[in-house]
Amino acid sequence: APETVSVSAAVADAIRSVELDPTVATVGSHSYPNVNGTIQLDAAIVEVSPGRHRCGAVMALEGYPGAIDAAFAVMESCQHRILVGSGAKAFLESEGFHPSVAPIPTALERPVAVLPEEDAGRPQPQPGDDHDTVGIIAVRNGVLSVGCSTSGKRAKLSGRVGDSPIFGSGLYAEPGVGGAVATGDGDKICSFPLTFSAVSLM
């Protein structure tokens, strides 16, 4: 990244490119919807350097093609660290963000209960392949940034949150040590401080 771009901005850029990728069905704008047919996104970002710790997360964010920019905005401009659902949306609008004008049809047109053979034109979920996360870790000049984004799980209940936006579970960073980010079944991972444990063992 150019010197003028912060390491966290570079992490967010990389994650955003996955959120907007139409071939990715478990992150961002083309995700499998929840049981109500709505896409709810989770994302988080952590930036650490010696003596400094910054972070932001959003959970169950609706109406946006991605969530990493929202997590980044929480980290940069909010007095809180985690915002959820309609509160996250209200904060984003106060920051000048605007929901997507139109939902991306290939994502939202699709009822959750469609049979696989009807689910043409996009990647088919295989067993264990209906959830995933993009995670990026980068370091520059002693500043370490870890970010992640996911739509959680195909046909999840509305309001379900997995590991990804939970600090210490889905992502963690310790200055001078390292960072970790998780992917997998968030209903299992979120029960444990998985990435905190991984970094603690480094």
Binding region for ligand GLY (CB under 6 A): 131, 133, 150, 152-153, 162-164, 183-186
DSSP three-state, residue 81: coil
The nearer residue to ligand GLY, 145 or 150, going by C-beta atoms, is: 150
Positions annotated as catalytic residues are 133
Nearest-approach distance from CB 102 to ligand GLY, in angstroms: 26
The nearer residue to ligand GLY, 33 or 152, going by C-beta atoms, is: 152
The nearer residue to ligand GLY, 8 or 164, going by C-beta atoms, is: 164
Please say whether the beta carbons of 6 and 142 come within 8 A: no
Nearest-approach distance from CB 56 to ligand GLY, in angstroms: 18
Within 8 A by CB and 6+ apart from 156, the residues are: 34, 35, 40
Please say whether the beta carbons of 69 and 52 come within 8 A: no
The nearer residue to ligand GLY, 69 or 163, going by C-beta atoms, is: 163
Burial (CB count within 10 angstroms: exposed 0-12, middle 13-18, buried 19+), residue 168: middle
Nearest-approach distance from CB 47 to ligand GLY, in angstroms: 21
SS3 string, 125-148, reads CCCCCCECCEEEEEEECCEEEEEE
Nearest-approach distance from CB 198 to ligand GLY, in angstroms: 15
